[in-house]
Chain A
Amino acid sequence: MTAPHSLDVAAIKQQFPLLQRELDGAPLVYLDSANTSQKPQVVIDAMSQFMEHSYAPINRSAYRLAAEATDAFEGARTKVQRFINAKRAHEIVFTKNATESLNLVAYSWGRANLQRGDVVVLTHMEHHANIVPWHMLVEERGIELRWVPLTADGQLDLRTLPQLLDGAKVFSFTAMSNVLGTITPVRQLCDAAHAAGALAIVDGCQYVPHNVTDVQAWDADFMAFSSHKMCGPSGVGVLWGREALLDAMPPFLGGGNMIADVRLDGFTTAELPAKFEAGTPPIVEVVGMGAAVDFLTDLGMANIRQHELEIAGYAMRSLTERFGPDIQLHGPCNVEVRGATFSFGFRGIHPHDLSQVLDQTNVCVRAGHHCAKPLMRLLGVNATARASFYLYNDTTDVDVLADALDSASDIFAF
């Protein structure tokens, strides 16, 4: 494997039409990629060309056009399989988003396998999508939830993990926090889950778009992620699961495509992955996701990670030097265990007001609870501002953000 090389950010930016857009005569500074990423021309083109030349139903018609569409759709599945190093293409289930992927596991595997008193372990830094489906099983089944605590610098505090996992059936955790930027030790967590006899479910939404992902090296059991955070279109997400687990699970949504046979007195399910893909899938979006995988693969995920390490290091240094105690950066100081996603407080200014002022200079940041209210409570805040960087950002964007923060102080100085 060759050493990571730097990205040519200017050239990459050129490939994103939206980033060429100007507001009030100035370029956009898009720092909200942890929310959703912008789309490169190759993804936009792949989707329009597919609609212009190859669009047809998939997996159900004999004519050549339908075969062509099916090839494009299933070709994208193979691309996604390789992208995360899954063993088999049919372990890739297309959903509408990562939230649906996690709900699919909780609903299908959870309802088939979890009874009153069974334990599911989550962490204190989960997104609501990896909390609420389990809360629903608490209400419906009477399962018990346990929570892995955090250290003061926003990493998982693993000292009590063996006790928390004792007797657990599931350990479901994020590979990277959407608030803190923390990257968790996924392989270690999977091993700990398995040692306790629990399944390891990984929320890969924030991790997969920014890092080399290898579900086999992780030894995970399920992983959820979405297309729209990795330069692909919205409307499609992925659930990857081990073949044996997916095979043994009851179906999730019922309808067309997911059946082998339907009679008046019942039905039998189709093979994987169709079993979990009821109804017409987001065909165009899956093709677009395949193009996004190609785009990222060509750039190299290791290079993207290296690039974001550099931005993260620069952001931590420059923001801390410039603002000192006026800025509270949440999450780890060690960039090796974090991505380039920064939640912060600034001079006591409410994040909503902050993002409104930053918007004056076209700096787009998220303000809010980031769908992680338990974590917000732990941090002792209602909301944070969050700047998240991706392959089309560079250190100049950090400087623009810092200048914009200064201008916010002018309005809200107490």
Chain B
Amino acid sequence: MPGLEDLYREIILDHHRNPRNRGELPPPAPHAVGHNPLCGDEIDVYLQVENDMVVDVKVGGQGCSISQSSASMMSQAVKGKPIAEVRALVRRFKGMMSIPDEDGNPIEPDPNVKLGDLEALQGVVKFPVRIKCATLSWNTLLDALEQSNA
């Protein structure tokens, strides 16, 4: 079986210990709650969207090291980015997690979208049960974006 070092990379553990952008934003900030029905984990994503730009993002809730670190890295990666770039990043991340597109086809990596630290989560693919943990905050981000009508 793949070693745990593929999963628990140091950067992941760092985000788990010191999660970035924790907190909430007051209403009417778009806010979505994501549930992992498998384990009961919950993630809150709050957005501040101005002029098609994610000006601020806050993350709340509880979860395992993978879901929490993924949420933390996600918040860093999308903060200050235009919505279009955020959506492209979500797509790129899901592609890395081996999640197919709406038509069931594999998502080809877009070379223009840089994953940066998020590449540390690549090892999650070797532990299929954990893919849901890694993608929870990203799906919740999409829900929050829907609410912002962006």
Contact = CB atoms under 8 A, between A and B. Distances in A.
A23 B1 contact: yes
Interface string B62-94: 111110100000000000000000000000000
B130 A383 contact: no
Interface string A367-395: 11100010010000011000000000000
A368 B39 contact: yes
A351 interface: yes
A414 B64 contact: no
B39 A356 contact: no
Contact of A353 (B38, B42, B62, B64): B64
Interface size class of B (residues with CB under 8 A): 20 to 34
B1 A352 contact: no
B4 interface: yes
Interface of A: prevailing SS: helix
A23 B1 CA distance: 9
A24 interface: yes
A222 B67 CA distance: 42
Interface in B6-42: 7-8, 13, 17, 38-42
Contacts of A24: 1
A360 interface: yes
B39 A412 contact: no
B133 interface: yes
Given A350-B65, A353-B65, A356-B130, A383 B4 contact: no
Given A368-B39, A414-B17, A356 B4 contact: yes
B1 A382 contact: no
Contact of A412 (B13, B38, B62): B13
Contacts of B41: 352, 382-383
Given A352-B64, A352-B130, A411 B4 contact: yes
A372 to B, nearest CB: 10
A129 to B, nearest CB: 15
A414 to B, nearest CB: 6
Interface in B35-57: 38-42
A411 B9 CA distance: 10
B133 to A, nearest CB: 7
A414 B13 CA distance: 9
Contact of B40 (A357, A383, A411): A383
Interface in B104-150: 127, 130, 133
B65 A369 contact: no
29 contacts: A23-B1, A24-B1, A350-B65, A352-B63, A352-B64, A352-B65, A352-B66, A353-B8, A353-B65, A353-B66, A356-B7, A356-B127, A359-B1, A360-B1, A360-B4, A368-B38, A368-B39, A368-B40, A369-B40, A373-B40, A382-B39, A382-B41, A382-B42, A382-B63, A383-B39, A383-B41, A411-B4, A412-B65, A414-B17
Top 5 closest pairs, chain A to chain B, by CB: A369-B40, A352-B64, A350-B64, A368-B39, A382-B40
Interface of B: 1, 4, 7-8, 13, 17, 38-42, 62-66, 68, 127, 130, 133
Given A353-B64, A383-B40, 5 more contacts: A352-B130, A353-B8, A356-B127, A356-B130, A368-B39
